[in-house]
Each structure stands twice: as C-alpha cells, then as structure tokens.
Amino acid sequence: MSDALIELRELSKTFDGPSAVTALRTTSLRIDRGAYVTITGPSGSGKSTFLNLLGLLDRPTTGEYVLDGTETSTLTEDERAHLRARSIGFIFQSFHLLADRTVLENVLLATLYSGVPRGERIERAMAAIEKVGLGHRVAFRPPTLSGGERQRVAVARAIMTSPKLILADEPTGNLDEKTSDQVMDLFEELNSEGIGFVIITHDAHVADRARRVLRIVDGTVHG
C-alpha cells in the first residue's frame, strides 16, 4: 500500500461564467497517511475550493485526484458519495448540528451513507462520544451545550466512521482561545492514532501547531 493518502496530479478548478474564474491553478501535491496539514491564505484565495475538491464535494476542471489509492475523477456521483462517507470526516466552524436532536442522534447521522452495519452504529457512536469526553452529555441537545462541547460533538460525528482523513474548515473560528486549544489538543490526539488532518484556518496559532503548512494565494498552492 502506498504511503500517500492524497495525490493531486495537475489538478485545477475553473468556474465558468461571463468571465471565468480560476479558483485553483494547476496543482500537483502529495499528502501522506496520518499527515497533519493546515491551509492558510487570504479570503477569496481558493482555500474553500481546495477543501471542496479534497472532500469530493466538487469536481476538478482538469487533472486527477487519487484518494487512498482510488482515482476519483472517473467515479459516478454515487461512487464518490460512498468513498466520501467511508474515508472522510468533516468539521465546520458553525458545527452543523441539528438543534432538535440529541448528541447521540447527531453523531449517528454520520452512519447514514457510511456502510456501518446497523447493529454496530449505537456502540460506535457511543465510543466516539466517549472519545471526545462527552459521555455525560449523550442525551443533551446542542442549544444546551457550550461552543466547545458542540465542536466536540462535531468531532465525534466526524470520527464515528473511522475515516482516514478529516477535513476541517475554520474549526476554532467560533471558540475562545482556551477552548480552541482544547479542540486542537483533541485533533492532535486523534492524529497520533493515525487519522490524517487537513485544516483551513486564519489563526496563526492553530496553523503553527501543524507539521506542514500550505498557503494558497490567488489559487496557487505553496508549501
């Protein structure tokens, strides 16, 4: 098995319109299994486009994207969805939790398309919730939780399916410094267990904790 988790080969993304916009210029890049990478750059530089491509939420205009040994460019939408559900966890700045569902129910949402056997879902969800230190909050709903606890629910949902890669978009953007540090400590613990992380951040403190920092400026990836 190759050590590469992500291989980008001459990848680019252009959005069509009256005046076409090249959001990601031709990029070749390798990210190994278990890597810990942050992505920085000014607003509008192409960071979100890059993350959407890595997350199989969008297709490149040119080039190839190999994820965990699978060349994704020729996959159907259903095949991409299954690969995404099996291999990738997502964490967002705004948590993306359902307010009227419990912590357990929110975490279980990750299993809908993942292929996790029905009989294992609750056990695995509970294990993920315990992992992030929220075993005492299983029956709580997001509005009753602190910002840090809500982000931990999002982390539990992301790791519930044992992904090889977690993509995080400004995961500490709504957190104070102390809570941000606690979330980053959790990320580093999970990374030490073999999960790869790619994190978009404007926070220099968060970026500096990574082993590799990529910077995107005007759609060009540096680093």
Any idea what the Cα angle at residue 99 is, between residues 142 and 43, rounded to 5°?
A: 85
**Does position 73 have pLDDT exceeding 90, yes or no?**
no
Question: What is residue 189's predicted lDDT score, i.e. its pLDDT?
Answer: 95
pLDDT band at 94 (very low <50, low <70, confident <90, very high): confident
Say which residue the tokens 């009753």 belong to: 144
Domain hosting 167: range is 4-222
Which pair of tokens denotes residue 210?
Answer: 């990574």
Gyration radius from the chain CA atoms: 17
Helix extents (H) in the chain:
47-54, 77-87, 103-108, 121-131, 147-159, 177-192, 204-208
The CATH number assigned to the domain holding 180 equals 3.40.50.300
User: What is the value of pTM for the model shown?
Assistant: 0.92
Question: What is residue 51's predicted lDDT score, i.e. its pLDDT?
Answer: 94
Q: How many domains does the chain have?
A: 1
pLDDT in tens, 130-152: 999 999 999 999 999 999 999 99
pLDDT in tens, 167-199: 999 999 889 999 999 999 999 999 999 999 999
Q: Indicate the Cα dihedral angle 192, 66, 115, 120, nearest 10°.
A: -10
Question: What is residue 1's predicted lDDT score, i.e. its pLDDT?
Answer: 59
**Does position 112 have pLDDT exceeding 80, yes or no?**
no
